[in-house]
Amino acid sequence: MTALSTEKSGSDEFEFEYGDAFAQHIETFQPTFAKALVRFNPEGDAALNARQTTRLKRLSDYCRGARQKFMFELLVPPTKTQLDRVGGADRYDRHIRPALMLDTIRVLQDSGVEPDIWKVEGLHSPDDCERIVEMARRDGRDDVSCIVLGHGADEEKVRSWLQIAASVPGFIGFAVGRTTFWNPIADLLAKKITREEAASLIADRYGEWATIFELAHHAQANVV
């Protein structure tokens, strides 16, 4: 099972890495999922959002026509006004971002953007996760699922996000990158540890995430 990125790396605006040849690039590699990482704040730059939506609908239409699975990685970065309103990034994540995520999913769905999987930033309550799943699956989109991101957060926050997401039906997995590999890779490059030690540390950390998610997921299933 593989996922192929379609976005131009390092760009704050979603653009195709291979321009008009994005479809040929997907067809060359035939991934399980064509993936788009998108930064979208519905209260942000309206012109930017409109440009991104047009490109994303083009990608979505292609995927549906080609029977290609589509994974949408949604980041909702705060505006300065939003940060000022609540007094910082942590309060933004807890009190503003969940509603903005819902608005973004609804706006994109209404514009014809139809992912098979929404890959979303971690949330601090099961209720918020449930609302995300409900929005993702509204109006007959019953086969759509969600994955929770680590988003480079610290270990404590990642553990909490995994446990919360896994407890909610509709969240089927996780994607935790930097929190898994960053420190071991940094130590390897600094020649503090060997390649084998780095690989072992990364494997152990990933195994920890998988165990946390599976235990919470099975606990939820047994309750249901």
Contact predicate 217/166, CB 8 Å: yes
Query: What local confidence, expressed as pLDDT, does residue 223 receive?
Result: 65
pTM: 0.92
E strand or H helix at 224:
none
Query: What local confidence, expressed as pLDDT, does residue 179 receive?
Result: 93
Query: What local confidence, expressed as pLDDT, does residue 89 receive?
Result: 92
Q: What is the 3-state secondary structure (H, E, C) of 155-196?
A: HHHHHHHHHHHHCCCCEEEEECCHHHHHHHHHHHHCCCCCHH
Question: pLDDT tens digits, residue range 136-157?
Answer: 999 999 999 999 998 888 899 9
CATH 1.10.10.10 fits 3-179, yes or no: no
Residues 6 or more apart whose Cβ sits within 8 Å of residue 64:
70, 114
Question: pLDDT tens digits, residue range 22-48?
Answer: 999 999 999 999 999 999 999 999 999
Contact predicate 161/132, CB 8 Å: no
Contact predicate 29/66, CB 8 Å: no
Query: What local confidence, expressed as pLDDT, does residue 151 receive?
Result: 81
Which letter does DSSP use for residue 138 in this model?
T
Looking at residue 110, its amino acid is D
**Distance from C-alpha of 19 to C-alpha of 193, rounded to nearest angstrom:** 41
DSSP string, 51-73: HHHHHHHHHHHHHHHHT-EEEEE
**Distance from C-alpha of 222 to C-alpha of 16, rounded to nearest angstrom:** 43
Looking at residue 178, its amino acid is R
Spatial CA neighbour of 205 closest among 215, 194, 197, 193: 197
Sign of CA dihedral 211, 213, 215, 218: negative
| Regions of the chain where pLDDT drops below 70 | 221, 223-224
DSSP string, 66-118: HT-EEEEEEE-PPPHHHHHHHTSHHHHHHHTHHHHHHHHHHHHHHTT---SEE
**Distance from C-alpha of 44 to C-alpha of 38, rounded to nearest angstrom:** 13
Cβ-based neighbour number of residue 30 at 10 Å: 9
